[in-house]
Amino acid sequence: MEILFVLGMLIQFAVLAIRIVRLFRRQPEESDTQRVNKIRGRVSQSYRSDPNNRKLQQDLIAMLRGDIATAKRLLRYERQRNPGNSDNWYLEKVIGDLERDRR
């Protein structure tokens, strides 16, 4: 009986140690700039070079609490729905729609 108790305690200790090691091995959280950089895909050069677009990208990602996949999806949707507009227009449209919907 005591052997089973000791064995159980050792297993619990090992599991706890593994969790602690994994916790400390975690990569540091991404900065807003790194998250914005992930948004870059098949977009125009102004997304990368225009400071206004960078600011709008950071604002959008902040509004979405870092959910880059949602930001991409919303921008792609607006590009399909309203083709031919500037990159800045799409960012402002998505941000404006989010602000409106959150009221």
Model pLDDT, residue 46: 53
Model pLDDT, residue 32: 56
Task: Please indicate, yes or no, if residue 53 is contained in any of the structural domains.
Answer: yes
Average pLDDT, integer, range 7-34: 76
Spatial CB neighbours of 70, under 8 Å, sequence gap ≥ 6: 64
Task: Please indicate, yes or no, if residue 26 is contained in any of the structural domains.
Answer: no
Task: Please indicate, yes or no, if residue 95 is contained in any of the structural domains.
Answer: yes
Task: Please indicate, yes or no, if residue 2 is contained in any of the structural domains.
Answer: no
Model pLDDT, residue 35: 56
Model pLDDT, residue 41: 46
- Per residue in 33-70, pLDDT (tens digit) is 555 555 544 455 555 566 778 888 889 999 999 888 99
Total domains in the fold of the chain: 1
User: Considering the entire predicted model, what is its pTM?
Assistant: 0.53
Task: Please indicate, yes or no, if residue 1 is contained in any of the structural domains.
Answer: no
Asked if the model's pLDDT at residue 20 lies above 70, the reply is yes
- Domain hosting residue 60, numbered range: 32-101
Asked if 72 contacts 39 with a C-beta cutoff of 8 angstroms, the reply is: yes
Task: Please indicate, yes or no, if residue 76 is contained in any of the structural domains.
Answer: yes
Task: Please indicate, yes or no, if residue 49 is contained in any of the structural domains.
Answer: yes
